[in-house]
């Protein structure tokens, strides 16, 4: 019987709908929480709100907190995942405005909302909630390496913020569309907000991160798929440890490599070149065999959002022939994506 594990980070009665806060962000990849909610929970997102200097937009209506509250919004979600996960001082006035307007604050940042004294004082005075979703469950065990029943799929990236979450969500939805038993397992703040539960792996003490991945993908029925959201990159100069813990702890039977064509350097680390797809596949398989000797790569997920449809199609065909693997953009779908799904489940 499938064990439906719902960790302590399960989201219950979040204040919805949302106003998405973009801070003063100028790098689109850092606004992945806002984009993820827009794309996967659009009915919950009324608009966006930003500080001066922001150049990133989700395309949703720009609303003040007061206007959003009048339209029915009840929570402001910090839609940014900046390097280090901190809340800059420049954001505080905007966040205070949201509290004054009647909105609760929801954050997936490393910095806890309750640790920001001005926000804590205002929330207490106004009777508002400060909700941190990047809070791992208590008593996470050390990983055992024991092989678990059921089928596991993990998305693995050449870098951060290029489509691991979107790929996992799209594959889980496709599996269910084929009447396969499947669950999306969230490992980051945006996935948790979308799925209603999960574990923010990068908030777990390092020694217990692989154990958290084991908790997130427990023993299951033989035909059940856990589709696990990847984090970071095994070649990332800062976040490789999180990626390796996920790989060892989730024990994937199948990996799908995620990549953005044209990206040459690690985001935020311009002196580090991205590894090739071949290098990433080889490294993931070699390291993954430590806890699952049967691990295999089903294919590649390309983020072709910067290309037009014809160019994307040509690139996917070329890369599929070059790598002898299924290659698709899950957001574009089509026959290429169906072939990737076939490669995952067969």
- Say if residue 294 is exposed, middle or buried (CB neighbours under 10 Å; 0-12, 13-18, 19+): exposed
Gap between the Cα atoms of 96 and 105, Å rounded: 10
Domain extent listing, the chain: 18-132, 151-345
The answer to whether the 18-132 and 151-345 domains have the same CATH topology is yes
Residue 328: what are its φ and ψ, rounded to 5°? -155, 165
CATH architecture of 18-132: 3-Layer(aba) Sandwich (3.40)
| pLDDT reported for residue 4 | 47
CATH number, span 151-345? 3.40.50.300
Residues in the chain where the model's pLDDT stays below 70: 1-13
First to last CA, the chain: 23
Gap between the Cα atoms of 225 and 223, Å rounded: 7
| pLDDT reported for residue 84 | 79
Gap between the Cα atoms of 128 and 118, Å rounded: 13
Q: Which residues contact 249 (CB under 8 A, 6 or more apart)?
A: 143, 209, 210, 211, 212, 213, 214, 216, 217, 291
Q: Which of 194, 277, 275, 207 is nearest to 244 (CA)?
A: 207
| pLDDT reported for residue 13 | 65
276 in Cβ contact with 263 (< 8 Å): no
24 in Cβ contact with 54 (< 8 Å): yes
């Amino acid at each position: 019987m499938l064990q439906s594990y719902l960790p302590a980070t399960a989201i219950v009665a979040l204040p919805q709908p949302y106003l998405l806060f973009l801070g003063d962000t100028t790098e689109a990849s850092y606004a992945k929480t806002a984009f993820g909610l827009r794309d996967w929970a659009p009915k919950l997102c009324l608009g966006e709100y930003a500080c001066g200097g922001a150049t990133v937009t989700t395309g949703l209506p720009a609303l003040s907190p007061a206007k959003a509250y009048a339209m029915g919004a009840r929570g402001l979600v910090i839609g940014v995942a900046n390097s280090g996960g901190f809340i800059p001082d420049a954001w505080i006035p905007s966040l205070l405005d949201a509290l004054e307007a009647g909105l609760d604050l929801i954050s997936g940042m490393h910095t806890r909302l309750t640790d920001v004294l001005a926000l804590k004082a205002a929330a207490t005075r106004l009777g508002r909630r400060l909700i941190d979703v990047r809070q791992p469950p208590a008593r996470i065990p050390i990983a055992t390496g024991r092989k678990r029943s059921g089928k596991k799929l993990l998305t693995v990236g050449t870098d951060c913020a290029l489509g691991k979450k979107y790929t996992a969500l799209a594959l889980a939805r496709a599996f269910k569309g084929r009447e396969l038993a499947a669950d999306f397992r969230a490992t980051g703040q945006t996935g948790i907000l979308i799925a209603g539960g999960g574990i923010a792996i990068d908030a777990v003490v390092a020694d217990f991160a692989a154990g958290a991945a084991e908790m997130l993908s427990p023993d299951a029925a033989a035909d059940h798929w856990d589709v696990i959201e990847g984090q970071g990159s095994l070649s990332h100069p800062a976040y490789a440890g999180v990626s390796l813990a996920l790989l060892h702890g989730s024990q994937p039977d199948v990996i799908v490599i995620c990549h953005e064509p044209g990206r040459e350097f690690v985001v935020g680390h311009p002196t580090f070149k991205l590894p090739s797809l071949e290098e990433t596949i080889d490294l993931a398989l070699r390291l993954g065999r430590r806890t699952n000797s049967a691990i295999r790569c089903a294919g590649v997920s390309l983020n072709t959002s910067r290309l037009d449809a014809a160019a994307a199609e040509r690139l996917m065909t070329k890369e599929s022939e070059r790598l002898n693997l299924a290659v698709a953009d899950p957001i574009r779908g089509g026959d290429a994506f169906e072939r990737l799904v076939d490669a995952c489940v067969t």
